[in-house]
Structure 1
Amino acid sequence: MRSLHTAGAVSARFDDPNLVSHAGLVPVMRLAERAGLGGLADELLTLGTTAGANAGAKVSTIVAGMAAGADSIDDLDIVRHGAMPRLFAGARAPSTLGTFLRGFALGHVAQLQNVATGVLAKLAAHDPRLLGGAGELAFLDIDSKITRVFGAGKDGAAFGYTKVRGLNFLAGCLSSPVCAPVITGTRLRGGQAHSARNAVSFVRANLATARACGATGTLVVRLDSGFYHGEILAAITEAGARFSVTAPQNPSVRAAIAGIGENAWQPIAYARPVYDQDSRTWVRAADVAEIPCTAFANPTRNGQRITARLVVRRVRDTARDATGELFPAYRYQAVFTNTGFDTVTAETHHRGRAGTIEQIFADLNDSALAHFPSGRFAANAAWLALAALAHNLLRAAGSLASRFHANARTATIRAHLVAVAARLARTARTTTLHLPQHWPRADSYLGLFTATHQPDPARRKPRTT
């Protein structure tokens, strides 16, 4: 492809009041209205200051900016250009939104999390495809993430295990074997926080959210070894869910692995190679076995005694084999679980945890969570909760648009369905969005637009006779 114009034969002007750069915000924010975003924010947020007035309009503006790709407070001005005032009312300026976020305390962040939970539940009820299959089998993945920050002045910023200054947060993600993950909850913590800090209450809250969103069947909570604690696993069991947690290579786990007979191992071949972090190689085959195991037998540590299955995967250690040892050398990875799946299925399901949670973190890094924008801890916690809300909103929009976008990255949804330029024209009291001719995702955009602009069944008045 090459330009058809020579230098000086083309010019650029920002002077058209009828253009918008993100016409996809029209159906996306209509979907947010149907999910009750503004109303829930007005009802549940009680900041009680002048900055906290009109919370619904301010929260909606931030979410709209994040859906368009804003990753800082100044970037939220993207919803106030061109003909946007003719499409949306009540959009607030970035300075107003910054003041609004700085007015948050941790209690207000909890209220905002309730708003996000309510919106997610309504989105799931509005489109059953969003969490399709979760009513039979669903996975709730809990993990922590450190986001790097710059400047020692940010509240809570510290050097954690990644050796960079950052803020640590917990995230819960709900998915099924046939649907992409949504975020059930977030919690911001200091940069030095270890994985299990405050995790018991967080797991309980996310289990409740998962049930409210339709995960009424078998619910498996998947965790890494940082959450290998008796109190956490007991809380999962008490809630009627199952757990699948990576077991650390402590003496009791190693002793249990040593007790597995050679005849118990069964070979498995991966349809797609699995990257092994320890050896930094791609693994195409392994052996799996299981053995009963009792964890947390010491009553003075980690809560309580729990007996479940230890599902173990072993992979040949080619580096040690090359040294000429007399017997094959293996590396072991163990999963402590009380699920009823067979050995291979239990190991396969747990291995899927990394891909799910890493997809969520990658999506957040590509959008609003590229960095934390404020120096105040509570403001950043509110920003994190709103980033999760915007993620779920885009996920719901993709589910309504097409089968492809139902499982696409949110960055792809944004590029295909939100960042679409349009020119507004008004005739006969009707506003028309004139979109680019031959747009490659036109069918998906129109599918989303049609689905969000049909009469809302929840608001239809019954006929009277």
Structure 2
Amino acid sequence: MQSSHAPTAVLAVFDDPTLVAYGGLEPLVRMAERCGLPRLVGERIRLPATANGVGAFPAAKVMALVAGMAAGADSIDDMDRLRHGAMARLFGGVRAPSTQGSFLREFTHGHVKQLHAVARRLLPQLAAHTPLLPGAASIAYLDIDDTIRRTYGYAKQGAGYGYSKAKGLNALPAVPSIPLAAPVIAATRLRRGASGSVRGAASFAAEALRTAQACGADGLLVLRADSAFYASEVITACRASGARFSVTARMNASIKRAIAGIDEDAWAAIRYPKALWDEEDGCWVSDAEIAEVRDYTAFTSRPKKQQVTARLLVRRVKRLNPEAQVQGQGELFSTYRYHCAFTDSPLSLVDAEKDHRRHAVVEQVIADMKSGPLAHLPSGDFQANAAWLALAAITHNLMRAMGTLASTFHTKATTGTLRDQLITVPARIVRGARRLTLHLPRNWPWSQAWRQMFAALHAPPHR
């Protein structure tokens, strides 16, 4: 590619009032309105009335924040990207970044919980209006995990050093997923940086499970988590919600005794379709062996009613590096590395173990959010950041729903890809015959998917 004109023949003037840079925001906002997001915000969020009117019109401000995040904003100042060209002709109620920042700083813990209630009610509406979770009635999974969103300086309220040894805030998402579609976000919670992973996880898991069930996951629903959530409270909350669980078990003395009791003939060889990177041994692993203990009782140090009996799935990988052998644990643990999952899944050993390893899908969602709105926690106020996290989850779900209406490819694309191909589409606004027309670029590579999404969202709603 090269310039087709001499440098002196090219001029650039920012003077066209009919252009918008994000033509894909029109169908996204229409879908949010069709699924009732402004109505839910108006019903649920009750900010105090102030002299400057910061708490007034919360629905308009939430919609502007969600639209800005969908367009790529990862800070409050970035919301200014909504105020250009013909955006005021295409949308009403776009607020200045300073207004939106003041709005977020008005949030208290109670207001954040109200925003969580909005998100919980919006997701089932998105699932009802779009094929967001196809097949959820048969089998679905809910993955929970936490991550440290790193912060800098001294102005971030609640920041501290957590398990990653990095200073930041602890974000906890719950991610429903099915084999046929990309995962969405059922619930979020922002915690202080020094919080333990399992703190509050039981009530959080129960809340997320109820949301997943409201989305149609009323068949086999399995909660998956890593060893940080291996706790009696989490598993009890899961069972009380009518769901199954599959949680990585910590290697303790009881589990070592259970592994030692497995007969050598009980091990079955498996081969991974794709090799896994073993961080401890520093090599790729594609072969392993699996076995199970049918009736393993966990949490035996707890009272009888808090103990849980279920299956213990064990995977062992032969150590290839003699120098990496663990010393002082006996021959059993010097020859193999063991990984255990505690579960009451009704699936076979091979399928249950394979499903548990797919828990890593939650990491993809966390990475997706960190490459978008969660690239920063924009405020020094803790509750403002908690509201920002909840809004980021709402935006994620809206974009996922858009992708399901566009094409099969966009159903599983990352939100970054959805933003580039469906949202960031330049358009010229023309008014005539009492309607607005969006003139989009000729030969846009994803025009067919965009048209399909646009037509679905402008068709009369189903009764």
Q: What corresponds to 2:389 in structure 1?
A: 384
Q: Note if 1:347 corresponds to 2:349.
A: no
Q: What corresponds to 2:41 in structure 1?
A: 41
The structure-2 alpha-carbon separation of the partners of 1:85 and 1:333, relative to structure 1 and needing over 3 Å to count, comes to: same
- Deviation string 1:168-200 (CA, Å, 9 cap, x unpaired) is 021100011111100000010000011100111
SS at match of 1:17: coil
Q: Note if 1:70 corresponds to 2:73.
A: yes
Q: Is the 8 A contact 1:68 1:414 kept in 2?
A: yes
Q: Is the 8 A contact 1:315 1:330 kept in 2?
A: yes
- Aligned 1:12-91 pairs, distance under 5 A: 12-49=12-49, 50-91=53-94
SS at match of 1:118: helix
Q: Of the candidates 257, 260, 264, which is equivalent to residue 258 of structure 1?
A: 260
Shift of residue 439, structure 1, vs aligned partner: 0.5
- Aligned 1:313-328 pairs, distance under 5 A: 313-320=315-322
- Aligned 1:266-281 pairs, distance under 5 A: 266-281=268-283
Shift of residue 381, structure 1, vs aligned partner: 0.3
The structure-2 alpha-carbon separation of the partners of 1:190 and 1:326, relative to structure 1 and needing over 3 Å to count, comes to: closer
Shift of residue 321, structure 1, vs aligned partner: 8.2
Q: Is the 8 A contact 1:133 1:179 kept in 2?
A: no
Shift of residue 80, structure 1, vs aligned partner: 1.5
Q: Is the 8 A contact 2:280 2:324 kept in 1?
A: no
Q: 1: distance between equivalents of 2:391 and 2:267?
A: 47
- Aligned 1:281-430 pairs, distance under 5 A: 281-291=283-293, 292-299=295-302, 304-320=306-322, 329-354=335-360, 356-430=361-435
Shift of residue 300, structure 1, vs aligned partner: 5.8
Shift of residue 275, structure 1, vs aligned partner: 2.3
Q: What corresponds to 2:195 in structure 1?
A: 193
Q: Of the candidates 106, 110, 120, which is equivalent to residue 109 of structure 2?
A: 106
Q: Which AA in structure 2 matches 1:428?
A: A
Q: Is the 8 A contact 1:20 1:81 kept in 2?
A: yes
Q: Is the 8 A contact 2:281 2:324 kept in 1?
A: no
Q: Is the 8 A contact 1:294 1:305 kept in 2?
A: yes
Shift of residue 270, structure 1, vs aligned partner: 1.4
Q: Is the 8 A contact 2:206 2:241 kept in 1?
A: yes
Q: Between the two proteins, what is the percent identity of the paired residues?
A: 51
Q: 1: distance between equivalents of 2:342 and 2:41?
A: 40
Q: Is the 8 A contact 1:268 1:286 kept in 2?
A: yes
Shift of residue 13, structure 1, vs aligned partner: 1.4
Q: Note if 1:154 corresponds to 2:156.
A: yes
Q: Is the 8 A contact 1:363 1:411 kept in 2?
A: yes
Q: Of the candidates 429, 449, 452, which is equivalent to residue 447 of structure 1?
A: 452
Q: 1: distance between equivalents of 2:102 and 2:110?
A: 17
Q: What corresponds to 2:442 in structure 1?
A: 437
Q: 2: distance between equivalents of 1:300 and 1:308?
A: 17
Q: 1: distance between equivalents of 2:177 and 2:280?
A: 27
Q: Is the 8 A contact 1:62 1:386 kept in 2?
A: yes
Shift of residue 298, structure 1, vs aligned partner: 1.0
SS at match of 2:186: strand
Q: Is the 8 A contact 2:289 2:316 kept in 1?
A: yes
Q: What corresponds to 2:247 in structure 1?
A: 245
- Deviation string 1:238-289 (CA, Å, 9 cap, x unpaired) is 1110000000111111111111111001111111222223223221111111
The structure-2 alpha-carbon separation of the partners of 1:322 and 1:14, relative to structure 1 and needing over 3 Å to count, comes to: closer
TM-score of the superposed pair, with normalisation by structure 1: 0.95
Q: 1: distance between equivalents of 2:64 and 2:252?
A: 49
Which residues of structure 2 form unaligned runs of 5+?
Answer: none
Q: 2: distance between equivalents of 1:97 and 1:277?
A: 43
Spell out structure 1 runs of 4+ moving beyond 3 A: 325-328
Q: 2: distance between equivalents of 1:45 and 1:210?
A: 22
SS at match of 1:170: strand
Aligned CA-pair RMSD: 1.6
Shift of residue 51, structure 1, vs aligned partner: 1.3
Q: Which AA in structure 2 matches 1:346?
A: A
Q: What corresponds to 1:125 in structure 2?
A: 128
Q: 2: distance between equivalents of 1:251 and 1:8?
A: 77
Q: What corresponds to 1:461 in structure 2?
A: none
SS at match of 1:457: coil
- Deviation string 1:18-44 (CA, Å, 9 cap, x unpaired) is 100000001111000011111111110
Q: 2: distance between equivalents of 1:277 and 1:133?
A: 35
Shift of residue 326, structure 1, vs aligned partner: 9.5
Q: Which AA in structure 1 matches 2:75?
A: S
Which residues of structure 1 form unaligned runs of 5+?
Answer: 459-465
**Mean CA deviation greater in 3-12 or 371-380:** 3-12
- Deviation string 1:175-233 (CA, Å, 9 cap, x unpaired) is 11111100000010000011100111101111111111111100000010011111110
Q: Is the 8 A contact 1:321 1:329 kept in 2?
A: no
Q: Which AA in structure 2 matches 1:32?
A: A
